[in-house]
Amino acid sequence: MVGAVKDTEEYFAKLHDRFVPENAKGLNATFQYELSGDGGGEWFADIKDGVLETVSTGRTEKPTLTIKMDAKHFIDMANGDLDGTKAFMTRKLKVKGNVAMAQKMKKFLPPAK
């Protein structure tokens, strides 16, 4: 289990360490992250049948799910200090695409706590 991270750069640099492949078996998805504010930017991650194949800066074509939020709130969520459902309900987190996939993410990209 990966511990807390201080910023988005560290989060995406350690995404392979955080990833739980056995919880992503059979999953084929691309996640686009659009993070605003201080430390924000755009990243994407590709998962192919339980393997986190790509983590990169920038945009991807036709993501399965797009996650939009302030970078500070994203780090709070990644560290387990902000619940994803609560973030969504309070409009701190916006998702586009396969919303059910967002609910499954905790299993293969768990928060630090």
Domain coordinates of the chain in residue numbers? 8-108
pLDDT in tens, 58-101: 999 999 999 999 999 999 999 999 999 999 999 999 999 998 88
Please give the pLDDT value at position 54. Answer: 95
Cβ 61 vs Cβ 95: under 8 Å: no
Q: Does the pLDDT value for residue 12 go beyond 80?
A: yes
**Nearest to 34, CA basis, from 105, 94, 102, 98:** 94
Please give the pLDDT value at position 100. Answer: 87
How large is the average pLDDT for residues 18-25? Answer: 95
Q: What mean pLDDT value characterizes the chain?
A: 94
Q: Does the pLDDT value for residue 11 go beyond 80?
A: yes
How large is the average pLDDT for residues 16-23? Answer: 95
Residue with tokens 């998805």, as numbered in its chain: 29
Percentage of the chain exceeding pLDDT 70 = 99
How large is the average pLDDT for residues 23-34? Answer: 96
DSSP state of 23: G
pLDDT interval class at 1 (50, 70, 90): low
Question: For the domain 8-108, what is the CATH code?
Answer: 3.30.1050.10
